[in-house]
Each structure stands twice: as structure tokens, then as C-alpha cells.
Amino acid sequence: MACSPHNAVRTLQQCTCNNSAVIPDIQQATRARTAILTSFYVDDFLTSCESVTEAVELAENVDAILSAGQCTLRKWHSNDSQVMMRLSNEPSLSSYIFYSGEASILGLRLDALKDQLLFRVDICQRVEIPTKRCVLSEVARLFDPTGLLSPVIVNGKIFIQRLWSAGLSWDSPLPEDLCRDWLNYRSQLPELNQIRVEWWMGTIPRVQTSFHGFCDSSSHAYAAVIYAKTSNTNGSVRFTFLTARTKVAPLKTATIPRLDLRQCSFLHRHSRT
């Protein structure tokens, strides 16, 4: 049903509000309640802690609150082996599954041992001449919610626009020039499996964090990207890629300044989300 996503989130929130009192310590109950309300993404609970003890306490409290409403968590994962060891030894969590190594999070892959995000692109060998339907299907399989693969995916979107401009039907074989360009693009996609991105942004309560957005446009597409800058008290500075979004330029000819105005609005909209 269309309302199912809302109902799922609303149920989780109500469960948290109703059962946070099962934690005797008010401060720990408040922290667990806030974590549940702000750190759930679909059915994944993703958060960070500064110490092993804090992580174990939070896991136990979150589990207790949700279990009281029959919203039982099933699997735990951490980039710290001490957290995994202590959680596996907790009597209240003894029946849970504990993962080490690579896991799936929101369609991405996480190497917990190295604390890095990575991609798995599986391109099967095709012997038939590609069609527009085939191209759209394979470009759509490049799932990238964070925008880390934007420079690659936007080229796939531009190619799809070329197919529409050529007036091809869904199952007609691509002309020789378009077929050559597509096969060249497709042959390089497995190289995305070599990309690894640090998951941690370097944000802790004692550092100053600021966000910096950039945008640019061309006659083919326009894009926006946001970085996080963390400045520590010892003078060290760290920049982390947060997210990026791309959009193909319209077929109707537009000047670069007009596209610049569009992508400024584009950046503002995604910086708010």
C-alpha cells in the first residue's frame, strides 16, 4: 500500500515513545530514544559511539525499548571487534546474529574491518546486440543513494537521453555508433568494484563541522556536491565527501548561465534534504 512506509516509521516512533521508560536510567533512556528516532533508515539502525562501553550500553537499551513493543532487532554489526565480542556475550542478546566483515547497508556494501563503503557491480556477459530496454535496465541497476558514483552514472543518463533523441523503439538493436559507445561504457563498469570510501566523517562533539557545497553545469548535465569540513582543536582539518546529485540538461537548448541558475537551485534543494 502507498501508506506502508509511513505506517512503518510511525509505528517505530510510537513504539519508542511508549516504551522508553523500560530503561531505569533517565539519561540512558533519553539517549536511546533519541538514537532510535534519528538514526533509523528504513529498517537499518546506523549510529556512532565514542567508546566500546557506550556502544554496548546503547545497543542493549535500543534493543530493550524496541523489544518491549515487539519490534525486535535481529542482527548487529560493528567496526570494533571489542564491541562485537561484548555484545555476543550479553545474555539479553545471546540469540542474535553478529556479523563481522562485509555487510549490506541501504543497498551499499560496508567493510566493517576497514570501515569503508564499497560497491558491487555485477555485469553479465551479453552476446546479443543491446537495445534501449537493455540499456535502461543496466543503468538503473547502478544503485547509488549517496551520489558517490555520480560522475559515472551521469554519463549513463546522458547516453539514455541520446537514445530517446534517436527515436529508437524499446527492442530495436542500437545503431553501430551508439552500440560502440555503450559497450565501451559498459566494459568499464566493473572497475567501480575497486572504489572504497571512508565511512567515518570525523565528526565528534569536540570538533567544529561545516558544510561546503559546489555546483557546475555544462551543455550535457549539471551537478551539485556537498563536502563536510571538520576542524579539530589541534589544528588538523579533514574534508569528507558527503553527497552529490546530477541531472541531465534538457533537450531544449539552454544557455550555460540559465543552467547555472538551475543547478544553484538544485544545490540549495539537496543541501536542505
Q: Are 187 and 228 in contact (CB under 8 A)?
A: no
**What single DSSP character describes residue 159?**
H
Amino acid 101: pLDDT: 74
Host H or E run for residue 150:
helix 150-165
pLDDT digit of tens for each residue in the chain (273 aa)? 788 888 888 999 999 999 999 999 999 999 999 999 999 887 888 888 889 999 999 999 999 999 999 888 888 888 888 988 888 888 877 677 877 778 887 778 888 888 888 888 887 777 678 999 999 999 988 888 888 899 999 999 999 999 999 998 999 999 999 999 999 999 999 999 998 888 888 777 778 889 998 888 888 888 889 999 998 888 888 888 888 989 898 877 666 666 666 655 655 555 555
Determine the pLDDT at residue 272. 54
Q: Which three cell numbers stand for residue 246?
A: 546530477
Instruction: Give the angle subtended at the CA of 201 by the CAs of 225 and 260, to the nearest 5°.
Output: 10
Q: Please give the distance of CA 58 from its chain centroid, rounded to a whole number.
A: 23
Q: Where do the domains of the chain lie?
A: 4-98, 101-199, 200-272
| Structural contact between residues 191 and 234, judged by C-beta atoms closer than 8 angstroms | no
Residue 80 pLDDT:
87
Using the Cα atoms of residue 12, residue 14, residue 19 and residue 21 in order, give the sign of their dihedral. positive
- Grid coordinates given for 119: 560497491
> Angle 4-19/52-68 helices, nearest 10 degrees?
110
Q: How far apart are CA 198 and CA 85, in angstroms?
A: 24
Q: Provide the pLDDT for residue 262.
A: 62
Residues 144-156 have pLDDT tens digits of: 888 889 999 999 9
Q: Are the C-beta atoms of residues 270 and 226 closer than 8 Å to each other?
A: yes
Pairing of strands 108-111, 44-45: unpaired
Non-local CB neighbours of 173 within 8 Å, separated by 6+ positions: 129, 130, 131, 179
Q: Give me 245's grid cell.
A: 546529485
Cβ count near 196 (within 10 Å): 13
pLDDT reported for residue 185? 94
Looking at residue 216, its pLDDT comes to 84
Residues 59/46, Cβ–Cβ less than 8 Å: no
Q: Are strands 44-45 and 40-41 parallel, antiparallel or unpaired?
A: antiparallel
pTM of the prediction? Answer: 0.76
Residue position matching grid coordinates 548535465: 221
Q: What is the helix (H) or strand (E) element at residue 152, kind and residue range?
A: helix 150-165
The pLDDT of residue 253 is: 66
Q: What per-residue confidence (pLDDT) applies to 35?
A: 95
What are the beta bridge partners of residue 211? 228
Supply the pLDDT for residue 261.
62
What's the confidence (pLDDT) of residue 143?
85
> Average pLDDT of the chain?
85
pLDDT at 122: 80
Task: Say what the pLDDT of residue 184 is.
Answer: 94
